[in-house]
Homo-oligomer: A and B are copies of this chain.
Amino acid sequence: MRRGRPATAGDVAAAAGVSLATVDRVLNGRPGVRSATAEAVREAVERLGFRRDVAAASLARGRRYRFRFLVPRLPQNSFMQAVRREIDAAALGGLDHRTAIAVDDYAAFDPADLARRLDACRRGEAMGVAVVAVDAPEVRAAVARLADEGVAVVTMVSDASPSRRTCFIGPDNVAAGRVAATLLGRFGGGRRGRILTVAGRMTLRDHAERRLGFAQVVERDFPHLSLLPVAEGLDDWSVTGPMVAEALRAAPDLVGIYSMGAGNRGIVAALVAAGRGADVVAIGHELTPFMREALLSGTFDACINQDPGDEVRRAVQTLRALADGDRDFRPDPVRIDIYVKDNLP
């Protein structure tokens, strides 16, 4: 029976005394097979240890995937640029796997523009959409319209919730905030003082969640530390810089900074200018080229990262599963990576 090589669907058909077409129907759970026949096929599959050759299946199916990614237009934000690069890479690689990926960007922080572009996906050209979202009613409504038309939507990096997106592909940001607090508290070495937390905007769900987790842990584990009110730096170094400089002046007992968004260039500049680069503990997010330098120079002490390549790949994988009608596919969770100067990749 098995002559060295693995069993094929043909072998199964022969063993079960049915035709190839029937085997295929059973394999793919299609209707129109008597249960006795189906059982015989399943038995043969089991007995021969048959496994479907995915290359052959994919070729025969001839199915084509068309997805669209939507990201905010933030040319200054290296992390978002990295996300774009990873999407481009996935687009290139996808071509070999019958998957066409288009990218589009929207005016950053602008729910109306994002909603408009989501609506543009409704003409049926895309089977699925992955979006770095803004958490706003217009966006949630546009997502619902897509869902109604059978276009699967997943959110990445920043979620819109509750909404009809199938899932969010990104780190647990509350946990990320907790990690930041643990590292900052412990790196501080028991010194008493205040901590500055810098967000882009607290209306960004990911930043708000990070702050939440951070505050939880500081309160519980580091009672000798207290939090200053959140500074909103708009993810812009020309805003964060003066803000941090001012905080350094106003709070001489500042022992740490937690930067929950972008604009770290300004934070480093302010710390260095004040001669506090070494003694203030700084924790930030996303391992951009600038963050690498800041870690190596010691101005930043740790960086919490989400791997954009990973996220994009998971998004594509999820969208493909959804397009295949696999309603209950759940992607692996995105990890919370910790980097210090010694484990930079």
The CA of A12 and the CA of B119, in the complex, are separated in Å by 37
Contacts of A188 in B (CB 8 A): 189
Question: Do B179 and A342 have beta carbons less than 8 Å apart?
Answer: yes
The CA of A236 and the CA of B340, in the complex, are separated in Å by 30
A343 vs chain B, min Cβ distance (A): 4
A43 within 8 A of B: no
A54 within 8 A of B: yes
Question: Do A340 and B182 have beta carbons less than 8 Å apart?
Answer: yes
Count of chain copies: 2
User: For window 177-196 of chain A, which residues contact chain B by CB distance below 8 Å?
Assistant: 178-179, 181-183, 186-190
Contacts of A178 in B (CB 8 A): 342-343
Question: Do A96 and B179 have beta carbons less than 8 Å apart?
Answer: no
Question: Do B340 and A179 have beta carbons less than 8 Å apart?
Answer: yes
Given A5-B64, A175-B342, A338-B340, also A96-B53 (CB < 8 A): yes
A52 vs chain B, min Cβ distance (A): 7
Residues on A lying within 8 angstroms of B by beta carbon are 5-6, 51-56, 58-59, 64, 95-98, 100, 175-176, 178-179, 181-183, 186-190, 213, 217, 301, 333, 335-343, 345
Name 30 interchain pairs, CB-CB below 8 A, sorted by A: A5-B64, A6-B98, A6-B100, A51-B95, A51-B96, A53-B96, A53-B98, A54-B55, A54-B97, A55-B55, A55-B58, A59-B59, A175-B342, A175-B343, A178-B343, A179-B340, A179-B342, A182-B340, A182-B341, A182-B342, A186-B186, A186-B187, A186-B189, A189-B190, A333-B345, A335-B337, A335-B343, A335-B345, A336-B342, A337-B338
